[in-house]
Amino acid sequence: MEWKRLLTSKSLKRFCILALCALLLYSVRSMMNVILLTFIFTFLMGRLHDLVSKQLNRVLHISPKIVLPVLYIFLVAVITLGSYKLFPLIRDQVMQLYHFIVAVYTHPELYQLPGFVVEFMNSIDIGGYIKPGVDFVFKVSHFGINLLVSLILSLFFLLEKTKVTQFSAQFKHSKISWLVEEITYFGQKFVHTFGKVLETQLLIATINCILTTLGLWILGFPQLIGLALIIFVLGLIPVAGVIISLIPLCTIAFSIGGVNYIIYVIIMICIIHAIEAYVLNPKLMSSKTHLPVFYTFLVLLFSEHLFGVWGLIIGIPIFVFLLDVLGVPQQDGQKLKDDQLQPAAKS
Cα–Cα distance between 187 and 180 in angstroms, integer? 10
pLDDT of 153: 93
pLDDT of 157: 92
Cα–Cα distance between 19 and 301 in angstroms, integer? 23
Cα–Cα distance between 130 and 250 in angstroms, integer? 19
pLDDT band at 25 (very low <50, low <70, confident <90, very high): confident
Cα–Cα distance between 186 and 182 in angstroms, integer? 6
What are the start-end ranges of the H helices in the chain?
A: 2-7, 10-27, 32-57, 64-106, 115-123, 126-159, 161-169, 177-219, 224-235, 240-244, 246-275, 281-289, 293-307, 309-326, 342-346
Least confident of 57-66, 205-214, 335-344: 335-344
Q: Is the pLDDT of residue 346 over 50?
A: no
Q: Is the pLDDT of residue 116 over 60?
A: no
